[in-house]
Structure 1
Amino acid sequence: MKLKLELIVLPVSDVDRAKEFYEKAGFRLDLAKDITDGYRVVHMTPPDSECAIIFGEGLTTAAPGSSQGLYLVVTDIVESRTELVDRGIDVSEVFHDAKGLYFHGHDAGKIVHDVPGQGREGGPHPDRASYGSYATFGDPDGNGWVLQEITQRFPGR
């Protein structure tokens, strides 16, 4: 069986504000359509991604800003962060995890719980190890995104 992640539903409070934010972040607008009163969809895709996001009115009962830990993979964390900042996106400084590969405990770019053995260290991973460097940002509702630098995939990926 083959499975591909295709679409993530984002809960937002203001569709036009979210659309403007994701366009500013460089996402491609695929579809924006008012279906009926109270049912509106906006479909957007991050650059070079096969998985897209969708948001609008009447799509989800989830609270706006409740999607967290949405990972965007980049090949150069410093360059990608700089480009987003240049586009007007508020992105954290680049950091790496003190003890591991997968940083968790973030919520819209902020640490929300203490994970034993884990902590943010400033700057990219000292060896620029693949999967080891991060930056975070949130959309206007607080949906939390993580940039993760991956230059060499694990075997089988």
Structure 2
Amino acid sequence: MEYSLELIVLPVSDVERAREFYRRIGFREDLDYAGGPDFRVVHFTPPGSACSIVVGAGIGTAAPGSAENVHLIVRDIVAARAELIARGVAVSEIFHDPEAVLFHHADESRRQPGLYPGRLSYASFASFTDPDGNGFLLQEVTERHPGR
């Protein structure tokens, strides 16, 4: 049996503000549907992704801004970071874990500045949030592990 991750619901407090943000950073708006005053779904897909995000009203009970560590995989983290900054997003400096852990620690004190030495695939990150505080990580992946 195969499973495909298709959609992530991001809790937001202001649908229009979130819609403007995701459009500005280059996500494709696939759907904006309002089913009455208490139900709205706005569906976005990041460029090159098979998985999408949804923001809206009446679509979940999580607190706005409570999503953490939504990974956006990029081939060139330096270029991706620069593009987001050019689109008005506050993006952290690039960081890595000195132990070559291919997932970041929640404890930010373990972050080392800059690209991982030798630019090891999966090992370099940068972070940003949407207007509600939902947290994203850019992760540079240049070579996939076997089976991916």
Q: Give the TM-score taking structure 1 as reference length.
A: 0.91
> Percentage identity across aligned positions?
55
In structure 1, give the amino acid aligned to 2:141.
I
In structure 1, give the amino acid aligned to 2:147.
G
Cα distance in structure 1, aligned partners of 2:105 and 2:49: 22
More strand per residue: 1 or 2? 1
Cα distance in structure 1, aligned partners of 2:129 and 2:139: 15
Q: Which is further off, 71-80 or 30-39?
A: 30-39
- In structure 1, runs of 5+ residues without a counterpart are none
Give 3-state SS (helix, strand or coil) of 1:137's partner: strand
Shift in Å at residue 35 of structure 1?
Answer: 1.0
Shift in Å at residue 98 of structure 1?
Answer: 1.5
Q: Say whether residues 1:37 and 2:28 are aligned partners.
A: no
1:63-83 C-alpha deviation (Å, 9 max, x unpaired): 000010100000001000000
1:50-97 C-alpha deviation (Å, 9 max, x unpaired): 000011010011000001010000000100000000010110011111
**Corresponding pairs, count:** 147
Shift in Å at residue 33 of structure 1?
Answer: 1.4
More helix per residue: 1 or 2? 2
- In structure 2, runs of 5+ residues without a counterpart are none
Q: Give the TM-score taking structure 2 as reference length.
A: 0.96
Q: Say whether residues 1:46 and 2:37 are aligned partners.
A: no
Q: Say whether residues 1:25 and 2:25 are aligned partners.
A: yes
Give 3-state SS (helix, strand or coil) of 2:118's partner: coil
Give 3-state SS (helix, strand or coil) of 1:31's partner: strand
Give 3-state SS (helix, strand or coil) of 1:18's partner: helix
Following TM superposition, the consecutive aligned residue runs of length 4 or more in structure 1 with deviations greater than 4 angstroms are none
Instruction: Kindly report which structure 2 residues correspond to 1:110-149, keeping only aligned pairs within 5 A, or say none.
Output: 111=108, 119-149=110-140
Equivalent in the alignment of 1:10: 10
